[in-house]
Structure 1
Amino acid sequence: MDAYDQGSNARREPDGVPGPTEPAVPAAAGPEGESAPPEPDGIPAGGSGVLRAAAVGRPEDHPEPSEDRPGPPEAHPDPRTGVAALSLGHQIVVAVALAVVAAAVCLHIGMVFLHVAPPNTLTKKHGTVVDDWVFPEFEQNWKLFAPNPLQQNIAVQVRARVATADGGMRETGWYDLSAQDGRAIDGNLLPSHTQQNELRRSWDLFTSTHDADNRPVGLRGALAETYLRRIVVLRLERGDATGRSGVLKSVQIRSRVTNVPAPTWGNEKVSDQPVYRELPWWTVQADDTEESVR
């Protein structure tokens, strides 16, 4: 077979690659005698398609981006938010505040747990500390879930004898302290039960340390009287029960107990008449007044 194939202008080596002595072939003329555009990278028009594809894909034909030719834009990290966006000093302050809050929450939960837990070594040794933390604001009891829950409304009322500026003595009407506490709570978005619990607990202490004739039973009777008398005296003075020039001389306390009405769908009949328990007149001591508290 001849070294030059018919219809081809290039000599072929056995592997189909142009030989080293292959002559250059002029570009084919286009229509109307114009020269055809050069092939990419100087590949002759009559060359093989495989050679053209290989030449186009050579790495030296695609140089790396240079300073004059910028590359793709760099990705920026997302901006920091929350605590991470604060300075180091503020982050330390936030961390300390969170640690203090977490410690206070753990302490409170532990105190309440010891309060409601059965008697144990800790409550026997530190029972006073637990009670001081829990009472009166965080008191826990089982009255709502007991077999016989509380079915009475107990109101503590007080009246006073006031010495007037002209040397006379006048007696006030009954002040319903429990009703005042209820009105302060109703409709309040952030109510405080401190005064309500204080008054209720002082009355419970009195009734548990006195018999039906209001005589003290046990060693805490005198303490219960002093505690209850001091609470009502302070409430009367803060409510301006004595007037501008009056002096509080003595107080009398009573309880008004009414039964909770039975539900409409029940057959139980309960009395709706209030039951009163009046205590004797107590002389106001010097350490019961607002000035002694200050």
Structure 2
Amino acid sequence: MPEPEHTHLSKLTTGRRITLYVIAVLSVAFVAFHFGMTALHHMPFNPIREKHDDKIRAYMTPYFQQDWHLFAPDPVAEDSGFLVRVKRVTPNGSLETTQWADVTTPHIDKLQGQRFWPSRVERLAPAVRQRIEGWRDPELDELRHKNQLKSQKKDPDPPLAPGELAGRDSALLYARGVASSEAKALWGDDIHSVQIRIVVNQFPRFSERTERDNKGKVTYYDLAWMKPLKVSR
């Protein structure tokens, strides 16, 4: 029985060996870099994150974000989304405020129809609330809450860290960009300003499951009016 033929590196030309070595080194370097950034993104607040959190978030979001609910699911307790309205310029030059438009549900419907290979773009709108409410460091925020109860002061103690400030600015820019894109698709280019409303529907508690008329509690809050960004769909 003939032995299978093997191609040894020694039989390759110098150019091909160099190419293989370069590809191997670059692959290892990228994997090491990616796992390093992922570890920094998920580890507790630390001096490295404080200094470079904006760069870490820019690399991880939105394509490398991870959701551990697949492995440790929590009961679904609420449903959320966001609405958009605009002030647009009318033909006579005045400003007209539109009605609120739901821009989350259409994207969720598209995701439900693309179970195997869902588009990452369709995840941008549902992620707005997560970005808006997730920029604070939980450990520092817990410390601020304890200090506020003791001193009754409104100013945060300790103050917002540079990484939190960068995260807040990044979250607002993200929300502004998504809202501008959705508003442009709905109302065209003659938009003066956009506004976002975050809506949360808390489902009835398990102990209240037998109450037929209990549909949960709906709460919302509005962000300030923002100038639209120039975005392409």
TM-score normalised over the length of structure 1: 0.50
Contact 1:160 1:250 in 2 (8 A): yes
Per the alignment, residue 195 of structure 1 pairs with 124
CA deviations 1:137-158 (Å, max 9, x no partner) are 4345777888976621111111
Taking the aligned partners of 1:147 and 1:190, their CA distance within structure 2 comes to: 20
Distance change (3 Å), C-alpha of 1:250 and 1:153: same
Aligned to 1:162: 88
Query: Amino acid of the residue matched to residue 279 of structure 1?
Result: D
Q: Aligned partners of 1:202 and 1:217: how far apart in 2?
A: 23
Distance 2:55 2:224 in 1: 35
Which is further off, 173-182 or 192-201?
Answer: 192-201
Identical aligned residues as a percent: 23
1:71 aligned residue: none
**Higher helix share goes to which structure?**
2
- Of 127-136 and 138-147, more deviation after overlay is shown by 138-147
Displacement of 1:107 in angstroms is 1.3
1-structure distance, mates of 2:171, 2:38: 28
Partner of 1:4 in structure 2? none
The answer to whether residue 181 in structure 2 is matched with residue 234 in structure 1 is: yes
Which amino acid letter does the alignment assign opposite residue 183 of structure 2?
A: L
Q: Distance in 2 between matches of 1:176 and 1:147?
A: 27
Judge conservation of contact 1:143–1:150 (CA < 8 Å) in 2: no
Question: Residues 242 and 248 of structure 1 are in contact (CA less than 8 Å); yes or no, is this contact kept in structure 2?
Answer: yes
User: 1:92-113: per-residue Cα shift (whole Å, max 9, x none)?
Assistant: 4344223322221111112222
Q: TM-score scaled by structure 2?
A: 0.60
What's 1:289 paired with? Answer: 229
1:254-275: CA deviations, max 9, x gaps? 222223477xxx6552842561
Q: Which has the larger radius of gyration?
A: 1
The 5 Å alignment of 1:172-187 reads: 172-187=98-113
User: Is 1:258 paired with 2:205?
Assistant: no
CA contact (8 A) 1:161 1:169 kept: yes
Whose relative contact order is higher, 1 or 2, with alpha carbons under 8 Å and at least 6 apart? 2
**1:69 maps to what in 2?**
none
RMSD: 4.6
Aligned equivalents of 2:9, 2:47: Cα separation in 1: 43
Q: Is the 8 A contact 2:81 2:126 kept in 1?
A: no
| Match for residue 104 of structure 1 among 7, 26, 30 | 30
- Aligned-pair CA distance for 1:177: 2.5
Q: Out of 183-192 and 139-148, give the one that drifted further.
A: 139-148
Secondary structure of the corresponding residue to residue 290 of structure 1:
coil
Change (3 A) 1:249 1:130: closer
Partner of 1:134: 60
For 1:196 and 1:85, locate their aligned partners in 2 and report how far apart those are by CA, in whole Å.
Answer: 54
Alpha-carbon contact 1:185-1:192 (below 8 Å) kept:
no
Indicate conservation of the 8 Å contact 1:111/1:130, yes or no.
yes
SS in 1 for 2:104: helix
Q: 2 CA distance for matches of 1:148 and 1:192? A: 23
Q: Compared with structure 1, are the counterparts of its residues 185 and 122 closer, same or farther at alpha carbon in structure 2 (3 Å cutoff)?
A: same
How far, CA to CA, are the matches of 2:155 and 2:200 in structure 1?
22
Unaligned runs of 5+ in 1: 1-74, 210-215
For structure 2, the 5+ residue unaligned runs are 142-153
Letter of the 1:159 partner, please give it. Answer: R
**C-alpha separation in 1, matches of 2:170 and 2:54:** 17
CA distance in 1, matches of 2:40, 2:19: 32
Report the Cα distance in structure 1 between the residues aligned to 2:71 and 2:224, rounded to whole angstroms: 37
- CA shift, 1:248, in A, is 0.8
One-letter amino acid of the structure 1 residue matched with residue 190 of structure 2: V
Give, in angstroms, the shift of residue 242 of structure 1. 2.5
Q: Letter of the aligned partner of 1:290 in structure 2?
A: K
**Residue 77 and residue 144 in structure 1: after superposition, are their counterparts in 2 closer, same or farther (change >3 A)?**
closer
The count of aligned residue pairs is 202
